[in-house]
Amino acid sequence: MLNVRPAYTHVTMTSAKYLKNNRLYAKTMDYLRYSTELFGTPCWLKDIVMREIENCETLRKNPHPNICQYRGVDYDLKSKCIMALLFQKYDMTLGELVAEKRTFDAEKCLQDIRQGIRHIHSLGYVHVDIKPSNIFVDLKVQPACFVVGDFDSMQKQGSQLRYKCGTEGWNLERARHEDYKVNVEQDWYGLEMVEAYIREKGNGKPMEGRSYPKTSDILKRAKRKFEMDKNAREKQEEAEKA
C-alpha cells in the first residue's frame, strides 16, 4: 500500500513533536480527506497535506494576530511520517458561535477576518475557502478575537487552481472551472457571503426564541446581490470609458 503521508524533514518543517498539550489542536489526516471540492485527475492526499504544511510554514514566518497560529508537525519517530499538523486551540468556530446564538461584536468579527485575509494576500496567496467553519474564535480575550484558519486550500495568486476550489455556496462558481487562476476575488466573495450570514443570523445579537433564515437561503440572496453589484460596477466602468 502506498504511503500517503509526507515525510518529516527538519530543513523545511517545524517540529512540534514534544509540544502536545490541551491547548493545541492536532489536525490529522482524517480531516484532510478527499471531498466534493476536489476536481480534475485524482490527486494524492499527500499533495494536499504537503501544501498545507508549506503554507503554514510561510505563515509561521509571517505571523499575524488574525491568522490561526501554527506550531509545527507531529511525526512518527521511526518512519518520520507526518501524523498531524498542530495549531493553537481556539474555543470554537464562527459557525458554532452563531449556531449557539451567542452574542458577539459583529463589526469586529468582520474586521478581524478582513485583516487576516489582507495579510494572506500581502504574502502573495489566496485562502480560497473563507467560510464560518474556517474562522476560529478566541473567547479568552474581550472582545473576542477572530482568526482565519485551515490552510489546505491556500494557493499562490495567479497559479492554476489545484485540488480544492472552496466550498459550494461560499465560493465563486467560476472558480470551479479547471482553467481558473487563483484570484483574491475568491476570498472577498467568501467574506461577502460570511457577512450576509452574520447579518441575517442576528448580527451578533441574536434574540432568544427567534428563528433565523436557513444558511442556504441566505447564500442564495447574497449571491444574487453580489452579481447585481458586479454588473452595476461593470456598466459604470463601461460608461466612464465611453
Domains in the chain, CATH or no CATH each: 24-234 (1.10.510.10)
Q: What is the pLDDT of residue 3?
A: 62
Q: State how far the Cα of 159 lies from the Cα of 157, in Å rounded to an integer.
A: 6
- How far apart (Å, rounded) are the C-alpha atoms in residues 25 and 136? 12
Assess contact for 136 and 88: CB atoms under 8 A: no
pLDDT at 51: 94
d(CA 115, CA 110): 9
Task: Give residue 35's pLDDT.
Answer: 46
Amino acid 18: pLDDT: 76
Q: Tell me, what's the pLDDT at 41?
A: 45
In the prediction, which pLDDT does 173 show? 85
Distance CA 163, CA 43 (A): 7
Spatial contact of 194 and 130, defined as CB atoms under 8 Å apart: yes
Q: What is the pLDDT along the chain (242 residues), one digit of tens a residue?
A: 346 788 888 899 989 887 767 789 999 875 445 544 444 444 567 889 999 999 999 999 999 999 999 999 998 888 888 999 999 999 999 999 999 999 999 999 999 999 999 999 999 999 999 999 999 999 999 999 999 999 999 999 999 888 888 899 999 888 877 788 999 999 999 999 999 999 999 999 999 889 999 999 999 999 999 999 988 988 888 888 87
State residue 31's pLDDT score: 41
* Unique residue bearing C-alpha cell 510554514: 57
pLDDT at position 238, please? 85
Amino acid 32: pLDDT? 46
Q: What is the DSSP letter of 33?
A: -
Half-sphere exposure of 29 (CA within 13 A, CB side): 15
Contacts of 122 (CB under 8 A, 6+ apart): none
| pTM of full prediction above 0.85 | yes
